[in-house]
Amino acid sequence: MRTYKFRAWDKNKKYMFEVIGISWFANHSSIWQVSGYDILEPIDNVDIMQFTGLLDKNGREIFEGDIVDYVNEKEMIGRVCNMNDPNPDRKIVAWYQDECKFDFNNIDNTKQMGGFTFCESNLTKYFEVIGNLYKSPELLEGKEERMREPFNADEITLDNFEGYIKCRKKPLLITAIQLNFVEGFVVTTMEGKVTGKQGDYLMFGVNGEKYPCNKDIFEKTYDIIKEGKE
């Protein structure tokens, strides 16, 4: 069963507190009161946020108004929506009263259109709460360079990933020289100096770049169209 909790942001005193009770007093002109431990505030002074009932990857409770990052790109490939968002892997947790559900907003606090939804609770293990709208507004100032470990593509295989495509390399005409007359060679490529061995091919790319190609790989990859000069 979902646990119901609330927190509130005091708009005047600028701090967040846990809500332990919400009361309505008939003699106060229908003004709700939010009480948190030793705090008693009129409803107009605070923004109230509810607990989603879900936890992030670190076991932290996720509340409405929290800012979350996707932290597992393998699971998110092809699912992140609105690529015009300057920070598509960062979202705001929002409550939609008309749809009676929690969902994501973009970092400009506009509604996310398409993609997956926060309701897919099995994916919350790939979310990390990094702040909230009130205490961490700087996290919403557009895309920033964050120090992250690069995604390890070794984890992707054709068995565990369905988003692959079939493709054919374009038939580009390139030139090659087989270096049979040397025991080995070195050539400066776009990636730096690379060595080749006797019998390997020296390739000349479409942009004039040079690089070595192993003899066995050459024979499996290329068909010789014409030998010698034009």
Q: Where are the beta strands (DSSP E) in 106-191?
A: 127-132, 175-178, 184-189
pTM: 0.53
- Domains of the chain: which residue ranges? 6-155, 175-221
CB atoms within 10 A of CB 8: 22
Overall size of the chain counted in residues: 230
pLDDT of residue 117: 55
**181-214, pLDDT tens digit by residue?**
888 999 998 888 899 999 999 999 888 899 999 9
Q: Provide long-range contacts, Cβ within 8 A and 24+ apart, for 109-113.
A: 109/133, 109/140, 112/81, 112/82, 113/81, 113/82
Q: Which CATH architecture has domain 6-155?
A: Roll (2.30)
**23-63, pLDDT tens digit by residue?**
766 555 334 556 655 667 777 888 999 998 888 888 899 99
* Element spanning 220, H or E: helix 215-221
